[in-house]
Structure 1
Amino acid sequence: MARVLVVDDDKNTLKFVRLHLEEEGYDVIEATDGRDALKKLKTLPCDIAVVDVMMPFMDGISLTKEIRNTYDIPIIILTAKDQIDDKAVGFEAGTDDYLTKPFETKELVFRIKALLRRYVDSESDNDPIRLGNILILHENYSIKIDTKTIKLPLKEFELLYLLAKNSQRVFSREQIIENVWDLDFEGDNRTVDVHIKRLRQRFSHLSVPFSIRTVRGVGYTLEMNQ
């Protein structure tokens, strides 16, 4: 069974989450702040991380960035209801999903299972896509540009894969959310804009044969450069 890293400075929350995840068969590693979490990740590889935003020493956003730079695992951030901006900042940092406190443990388990399934699934219709000198590999969520390999956070990759697989087609933000985040997504359209911005930034300094164009009033499309 998968190993889950749970990071929260509230010991009651840690105990509460650990007990319910262990009941589901997960191996749980606890950490009380970002520095503690990174230390444990070095010796105890985890399959997914559940990270609270507000923590001492190193907050959840900073921790998310550090994990994303080093480890290829999905990340769920936990944020309070009145911390709406944390969701956008979290997605910019590279998180794959978020959950608002207080939350039902069943909802957390559902999201953990969904993310783990997406990280390991390699469906037959997810064939590699070639765009000029770029190869997009769904099997390991990586992109090869000539001889250089780039790993993307899950949602960024799935967004790019969707647009690349349907190049020239314009997707509305609602259609992107439906395809990438599923119908039960509770966020807003700004999440799509954040991920598009991150993708553009990632490729801005690289020689790529495509661009992601904004279609005003509609959404986004991937176009091959002339």
Structure 2
Amino acid sequence: MSLMLIADDHQSLLNILSSAAKKEGFEVATAMDGQEALELFDQLHPQIVLLDVMMPKMDGFQVCREIRRQWDTPVIMITARGEDFEKIMGLDIGADDYIVKPFSPGEVMARVRAVLRRAGRESADSKRLTVEDLTINLEDYTVTIGGEPVRLTKREVDLLWTLVENRTRAFTRDHLLDLLWGMDYYGDPRTVDSHIKRLRAKLDEIPHPRWQIATIRGVGYKFEVNHEG
């Protein structure tokens, strides 16, 4: 079982994030200041770290710098402030992503999954996903529909996985950019539309009447299953 280290000086937030992480199958260690977080990291070597920026004794940026001296463990920074300079500072010192409060626990766990996928640290049993006749395998980045292979790029596979894995929700373009391209991407959000268009075209080469990537007007995109199809 993967271990997540969560560091924040607010006990209520620690409790919320710990509960969400445990539901995702993580073991959890918690710290309420930066010094304790770094000590726990050295002792436990977790698979991923959630770091609040503003903490007593040592702030999240300092902790991230110390971790990056020896380790490439994924680090997600959490802060109540969202100024661009903080985002840039956090990413420049080696953070993998950046989340601004307030947020939902579900959003944080989606970011965790995306960062772990990019880092290649998800366990083998969590790298295969099947819905209806669609199967996605992140072990070898293959996609099949009814057993027939679909040739997709790595980015297209990641995009499809994100939509299918979170099929109860719709994603905005900006959210997909954050999850798949990372917070340090400052390109045109319409790049998501281009990727969706190419992904649909490739998937549509094989009939799949029971599901689709739907456009949600005014929101973005969502994977939908038609149980009557």
- TM bucket, shorter chain: 0.5 to 0.7
Does the CA-based 8 Å contact 1:53-1:86 persist in structure 2?
no
Q: Kindly provide the CA deviation profile for residues 37-82 of structure 1, in whole angstroms up to 9, marking residues without a partner as x.
A: 1111122120000001111110011111111112221110012244
What secondary structure sits across from 1:70 in the alignment? coil
Q: TM-score, normalised by structure 1?
A: 0.54
Structure 2: which amino acid aligns with 1:10? Answer: H
Match of 2:84 in 1: 84
Give the one of 169, 172, 180 matched to 1:182: 180
1:53 correspondence with 2:53: yes
Query: Closer, same or farther in 2 for the Cα pair 1:188/1:73, shift >3 Å?
Result: closer
Structure 2: which amino acid aligns with 1:105? Answer: P
Does the CA-based 8 Å contact 2:49-2:73 persist in structure 1?
yes
Q: Kindly provide the CA deviation profile for residues 179-210 of structure 1, in whole angstroms up to 9, marking residues without a partner as x.
A: 99636x566639xxxxxxxxxxxxxxxxxxxx
1:188 and 1:47 map into 2 onto residues whose CA distance is 24
Match of 2:37 in 1: 37
2:27 and 2:106 map into 1 onto residues whose CA distance is 17
Does the CA-based 8 Å contact 1:77-1:98 persist in structure 2?
yes
Match of 1:18 in 2: 18
2:12 and 2:178 map into 1 onto residues whose CA distance is 33
Q: Percent identity?
A: 34
Match of 1:113 in 2: 113
1:20 and 1:180 map into 2 onto residues whose CA distance is 20
Q: Kindly provide the CA deviation profile for residues 76-131 of structure 1, in whole angstroms up to 9, marking residues without a partner as x.
A: 00122444321111011110101110111111111111111222278769xxxxxx
Query: Closer, same or farther in 2 for the Cα pair 1:29/1:112, shift >3 Å?
Result: same
Consecutive aligned runs of 4 or more in structure 1 exceeding 4 Å deviation: 121-125, 178-181, 185-188
> 1:61-210 counterparts in 2 under 5 A?
61-120=61-120, 182=180, 189=186
Structure 1, unaligned runs of 5 or more: 126-177, 191-226
Structure 1: which amino acid aligns with 2:55? Answer: M
Query: Closer, same or farther in 2 for the Cα pair 1:18/1:180, shift >3 Å?
Result: closer
Aligned residue pairs total: 137
Does the CA-based 8 Å contact 1:7-1:50 persist in structure 2?
yes
What secondary structure sits across from 1:182 in the alignment? helix
Does the CA-based 8 Å contact 2:97-2:183 persist in structure 1?
no
What secondary structure sits across from 2:95 in the alignment? coil
Structure 2, unaligned runs of 5 or more: 122-137, 142-175, 188-229
